[in-house]
Amino acid sequence: MSAGPPSPERNAFATLRRFARSRQATERCELCGAGLPTEHRHLLETATRKIVCACDPCALRFTDIVEGRFKLIPRDVRSLPDFRIEDSEWEDLALPINLAFLFHDSTAGKLTALYPGPAGVTESLLRLDAWERMVEHNLALARMAPDVEALLVSRVGQAREYYLAPIDVCFELVGLIRLHWRGLSGGSEVWQEISRYFAGLKERARPEVPNHA
């Protein structure tokens, strides 16, 4: 008897494994089979959250696609240097850790919050009223592209970093944590890698302004 198609969760974990392992010498477009350079475009298969590698000609076919099987993932990372949120408002989101990304899942028709951990990614229920208050104070969130762009947040320790980031960049963080986590607390290596990740993000990001009314 057939086992049936893989679940969205299994496809998401397959994506994370791909980000966690070393890049192959030659990657290929998953639509046409053409060889790919190290830096290439990604598509999101919306039903499964699978990230698909694509050559430029295939990727550009999905520019401005609003509905459909695949969406083109943007490249730009935008920082939100004047992001406004009180500690109490963050706590209202009821996320168990201070490292998460939030995005609109058009297939499920809801706002989704994911947070990384040693076993991969976990989905958390999100109170809509808490999100709406956040958008009211930060209008940049209203311009966030569904499915392919997320609010990426780090409030670990003294950090208060907020980005509008492509969804593949967010999943890259999850894969990094899975790869380097050791023991119960993660170990020093994983936290060093997380610091490097956000330092690189800060360097490549352009500020998004204005961020609020």
Overall residue count recorded for the chain in this entry:
213
Q: How far is CA 84 from CA 28, 46, 136, 199, 213, in A?
A: 42, 30, 10, 21, 11
**pLDDT at residue 54, rounded to an integer:** 96
If DSSP codes are grouped into helix, strand and coil, which group holds residue 29?
Answer: coil
Backbone angles phi, psi at 49, to 5 degrees: 65, 20
**pLDDT at residue 11, rounded to an integer:** 53
Tokens (6 digits) for 95: 């996320």
Asked if residue 121 lies in contact with residue 115, where contact means CB atoms within 8 angstroms, the answer is yes
Query: What string of pLDDT tens digits covers the 213 residues of the chain?
Result: 444 444 444 555 555 555 544 455 578 999 999 999 989 999 999 888 899 999 999 999 998 777 788 999 999 999 999 999 999 888 888 888 899 999 999 888 888 999 998 888 888 878 778 888 889 999 999 999 999 999 999 999 899 999 999 999 999 999 999 999 998 888 899 999 999 999 999 999 999 876 555
The structure's pTM equals: 0.85
Distance of CA 49 to the CA centre of its chain: 10
**What residue spans define the domains of the chain?**
8-72, 78-207
**pLDDT at residue 27, rounded to an integer:** 87
Tokens (6 digits) for 128: 């809509």
Cβ-based neighbour number of residue 187 at 10 Å: 12
Residue 150's DSSP bridge partners are 165
